[in-house]
Structure 1
Amino acid sequence: MFRTLTALAVTATLLAGCGGERPEKNTTTEADLPRVTGVLSTKSAKQLFGAESAGSPQSSAPYGSYAKGCLAGAAQLPETGPTWQAMRLSRNRNWGHPELIDFVEDLSRKAARQPGWNGLYVGDLSQPRGGPMLTGHRSHQIGLDADIWMRPADDLRMSRGAREEISSISMRRSSGAYTNNNWTRAHHEILKAAAQDPRVARIFVFPGAKVQMCNDESGDRAWLRKIRPWWGHHYHFHVRLNCPDGARGCVNQDPPPPGDGCAAAQDWVNNILNPPPPDPNAPPPKPRRELTMGDLPAQCASVLAAQ
Structure 2
Amino acid sequence: MRFPSLLKLVAAALVGLTAYAAPAGAEPLAKELFGAQKLPAATAPQSFGFYSKGCFSGGMAIAKDGPHWQAMRLSRNRRWGHPQLIATLERLSREAAQDGWNGLLVGDISQPRGGPMLTGHASHQIGLDADIWFTPMPSRRFTNSERENVSAVSMLKGDSLYVDDRKWTPAHEAVLRRAASYPQVERILVHPGIKKKLCDTVRGDRSWLRKVRPFWGHYYHFHLRIACPAGSTGCKAQAAPPPGDGCDKSLDWWFTDEPWRPAKGPAKPKARDVMTMAALPSACRSVLSAAAPASEMAVTMTGEGGASQAASAPLPVLGYQAEDPASILSSMPANQVPRPSERPALQ
Fold match, TM over 0.5? yes
Q: Tell me the residue number matched to 2:270.
A: 288
In the other structure, the counterpart of 1:209 is: 194
The one-letter code matched in structure 1 to 2:138 is D
Shift of 1:283: 5.6
How much does 1:52 deviate?
0.3
- Change over 3 Å in CA distance of 1:46–1:156 after alignment to 2: farther
Give the secondary-structure state (helix, strand or coil) at the position aligned to 1:260.
coil
Aligned partner of 1:81 in structure 2 is: 66
Evaluate the alpha carbon distance shift between residue 126 and residue 167 of structure 1 in structure 2; reply closer, same or farther with a 3 A threshold.
Answer: same
Match of 1:45 among 16, 30, 38: 30
Q: Map 1:135-214; keep pairs closer than 5 Å.
A: 135-173=119-157, 175=159, 177-180=161-164, 181-214=166-199
Q: Indicate how the Cα distance of structure 1 residues 40 and 125 shifts in structure 2: closer, same or farther if over 3 A, else same.
A: farther
3-state SS of paired residue (1:70): strand
| 2:51 partner amino acid | Y
What is the aligned-residue RMSD (CA, Å)? 2.2
Asked whether 1:232 is paired with 2:214, we answer: no
| Larger proportion of helix | 1
Aligned to 2:232: 247
Change (3 A) 1:243 1:176: farther
2:193 maps to amino acid = G
What's the CA shift for 1:140? Answer: 0.1
Percent identity between matched residues is: 51
Whether 1:113 and 2:95 are equivalent positions in the alignment is: no
Q: Distance in 2 between matches of 1:152 and 1:95?
A: 21
The answer as to whether partners of 2:85 and 2:128 remain within 8 angstroms in 1 is yes
Q: Which moved more, 1:182-191 or 1:287-296?
A: 287-296
Distance 1:161 1:48 in 2: 27
Q: Corresponding residue for 1:35?
A: none
**Structure 2 segments unaligned to the other structure (5+ residues):** 1-23, 292-347
Q: Which residue of 2 aligns with 1:221?
A: 206
CA distance, structure 1, for counterparts of residue 261 and residue 145 of structure 2: 44
8 Å contact from structure 2 (residues 189, 223) kept in 1: yes
> CA separation of 1:189/1:57 partners in 2, compared to 1, >3 Å: closer, same or farther?
same
Change (3 A) 1:41 1:224: same
CA contact under 8 A between 1:80 and 1:156: conserved in structure 2? no
Aligned to 1:15: none
Letter in 2 for 1:139: S
Offset at 1:288? 3.5
Distance 2:276 2:199 in 1: 41
Aligned residue identity for 1:109: R
| Cα distance, 1:164 vs structure 2 | 1.0
Displacement after TM superposition at 1:287 (Å): 3.3
Secondary structure of 2:248's match? helix
Return the offset for 1:258.
1.2
Given that 2:214 and 2:251 are in contact with CA atoms closer than 8 Å, whether structure 1 keeps it comes out as: no
Unaligned runs of 5+ in 1: 1-38
Letter in 2 for 1:287: P
User: What secondary structure, in the 3-state scheme, does the structure 2 residue paired with 1:237 have?
Assistant: strand
Match of 1:20 in 2: none
Match of 1:60 in 2: 45
Seen in structure 2, the aligned counterparts of structure 1 residues 286 and 88 have a Cα distance that, compared at 3 Å, is closer
The CA deviation at 1:216 is 1.2
> Are the counterparts in 2 of residues 177 and 269 from structure 1 also a CA contact under 8 Å?
no
TM-score for the superposition, normalised by structure 2: 0.72
Give the 5 Å matches for 1:265-276: 266-271=251-256
Q: Deviations over 1:51-106 (max 9, x none)?
A: 00001111110000000000111001111000001100000000000011001011
Alignment pair present for 1:100 and 2:100: no
Matched with 1:127 is 111
Distance 1:265 1:173, change over 3 A: farther
